[in-house]
Amino acid sequence: MKYIKYYLSPVTILTAMICVLQGAHAPTLFFIGFSLFVILGDFLLNDDSVEHEYSYPFLLNLPMYLNLPLLSLFIFLSTLLLSSTISNVFLQFLSPTVETLFLNIKQSLTLIDKFSLMLLSGLYIGIMGTVTGHELVHRTKNKFDMFVGNWLLAFSWDCTFAVEHVYGHHKNVATPIDPATGKRGENIYKFVLRAIFSEHKDAWKIEINRLKLSRKNLFSAKNRMLIGYFRSITISSIAFMIAGYSGLGLFLLMAFVAKCFLELINFAEHYGLVREEGKPVYPRHSWNSNATLSSLYLFNVTRHSSHHEKSHLKYWELKSYPNSPFMPYGYLAMLYLAIIAPFLFHRAMAKKLINWDINYATDEEKILANKQNKRSGVPLLMNSTHS
């Protein structure tokens, strides 16, 4: 069971493909069902704080590898079902019976079904693609893992993640110069746009400096940003071959939704936490979570305190750290709360931040926290001062 539980991610993608092919109302019901399954599961199940010993690492890597082909099939299936047309190039590979089947399914989908499938596709690119890719691109010395991880990131046009996250965010986390750390009371939607732009800019700075130091040409196959763009262009081209300009536009929208979801996760993982620049990163500089279903789907990135303390650890080696600062709810609940009711997100996190200031912050960090509290616009924080 300790191995099998991590196969929940690829099994869910397979289940989603079967479900959406049922036609009318199926995508909507599946999206709602999946969301409730994770949110309520995190709430009702006991937290998973057990740290197992494993003897067969390949069985732990396999579900992440499976996510690449399965996610590809699901996203291209979604593109086909959502698009207004099927390209002539793709039609050549379909028998008349299969073509009729797809057309019937497409015509049966309601506007709400299409909206639900779009959100589900973006969510799955984020969860099964970007988060899984995140685990793999940290393994910088393993070529196969880097290959799979970078292709998973390509679905959200996020080649910046393999550069800025690994070499920038982990160094700058919880400081003002980190674009992935949300400030107390910061507008969530503005944060998403700011983070996307700033991370991209920082990734190029990191890559330009790396290529200069290694005396390599900026416009070459050694440029990780350019190679990343090529991967995303390849996937986008397949979407175009399947459903023309309609398919291309839909895929790009899915990628953008996925990127927004990722930034919201970043926002929740470090929201309001502060650290002096140049000082070591400790478990207290990330919001932790041992919520069971979120941990399984996200390959323990929920154990974020441990991940930032020692980023070289593989997901099954991460520590649960029961004494670290914890999110109030599971990851998906925090994600939806941030999107739907930002004011409730800020209110829920304000109490956590006050506790962090009192029980975790150093004297220097208390000064930084107090400055953010005064500018936060959150009444509970603005009235809270600690020394």
Helices (H), 125-223: 132-137, 143-154, 159-160, 170-172, 188-213
Q: Tens digit of pLDDT for each residue in 90-114?
A: 877 778 888 788 889 999 999 999 9
Structure tokens at 325: 């600062």
Distance CA 251, CA 236 (A): 7
Helix 57-82 vs helix 143-154: crossing angle, to nearest 10: 20
Domain-located, residue 162: yes
Q: What is the pLDDT of residue 191?
A: 96
**HSE-up of 67 (CA within 13 Å, CB side)?**
34
Confidence band for 127, pLDDT divided at 50, 70 and 90: very high
Q: What is the pLDDT of residue 303?
A: 96
Domain-located, residue 182: yes
Average pLDDT of the chain is 94
Q: Tens digit of pLDDT for each residue in 202-222?
A: 999 999 999 999 889 988 889
**HSE-up of 259 (CA within 13 Å, CB side)?**
24
Q: Is the pLDDT score of 179 beyond 80?
A: yes
For the chain, percent of residues with pLDDT exceeding 90: 86
Cβ burial of 46 (10 Å; 0-12, 13-18, 19+) is: exposed
Distance CA 208, CA 167 (A): 13
Q: What is the pLDDT of residue 387?
A: 54
Residue 240: helix, strand or coil by DSSP? helix
What's the whole-number mean pLDDT along residues 133-144?
95
- 131 — phi, psi (to 5°)? -65, -40
Q: Tens digit of pLDDT for each residue in 13-32?
A: 999 999 999 999 999 999 99
Nearest to residue 271, comparing CAs of 322, 323, 329?
A: 329
Q: How far is CA 321 from CA 44, 47, 143, 328, in A?
A: 21, 12, 31, 15
**Domain encompassing residue 344:** 4-382
Domain-located, residue 374: yes
Other CB atoms within 10 Å distance of the CB of residue 308? 21
Domain-located, residue 353: yes
Q: 385 versus 50: which is more confidently predicted?
A: 50
Q: 316 versus 88: which is more confidently predicted?
A: 316
Q: How far is CA 238 from CA 82, 100, 266, in A?
A: 15, 21, 29
Domain-located, residue 373: yes
Domain-located, residue 387: no
- DSSP one-letter code for 183: P
Q: What is the pLDDT of residue 386?
A: 62
Domain-located, residue 115: yes
Q: Tens digit of pLDDT for each residue in 246-267?
A: 999 999 999 999 999 999 999 9
In total, how many domains does the chain have? 1
Q: Tens digit of pLDDT for each residue in 229-239?
A: 999 999 999 99
